[in-house]
Amino acid sequence: MSTKFERKLAKIENFLTGASLGLAAIFGLLQILAREVFGVSIRWTQEATIYLIICSTYFGSVVALRRKEHISVDILKAVGGARWKRFIAILESIVLMAFLIIFTILAWRMVLAPYSRATNTPVMDIPLWVVELAVPIGFSLMLIRAMTLIWRRFRGPAVDETPNIKTDF
């Protein structure tokens, strides 16, 4: 996979994460100002903030995967030589891909389920599938990102070498 593709993917990941967190902060601040300054409550801002924070969690997990900041246990890599480390890296990749494929499929099934299409959110009154869409999008992006990392891992000379991609805003 090309570095150009990975840069574009990183921009999408960063935008989704930043936009959802930024909007959540704006809506939270708007609710506080409206309540404290004007004495009114804007009901939809609390629900929107909760949903946006959930979105930022799924989108942010992709960024964490890209930066290799997910929790990991490296004790198995520490006990062997280069061949052992490569074997563990392959096993790690297989488990990660299996997990992401299963959960991506389940997430898309959740959004397409009749309940999600027939139910609206309590306050904002938008279809539930719109809110749930962050889950399959997040898992799909994570699956794509995992494929790029695995491709790079097994194509390059070093087992855990990551590209030097400028991915910040």
Q: How far apart are CA 124 and CA 44, in angstroms?
A: 6
3-state class (DSSP) for residue 165: coil
Provide the whole-model pTM.
0.84
- For residue range 46-74, what is the model confidence (pLDDT) as tens digits? 999 999 999 999 999 999 999 988 877 78
- Retrieve residue 110's tokens: 């959740």
Q: Per-residue DSSP letters for 68-93?
A: T-S----HHHHTS-HHHHHHHHHHHH
Angle ∠(134,137,139) on CA atoms, nearest 5: 105
* Average pLDDT by stretches of 10, the chain with 169 residues: 86 96 97 95 94 96 91 81 87 92 97 94 95 96 92 67 50
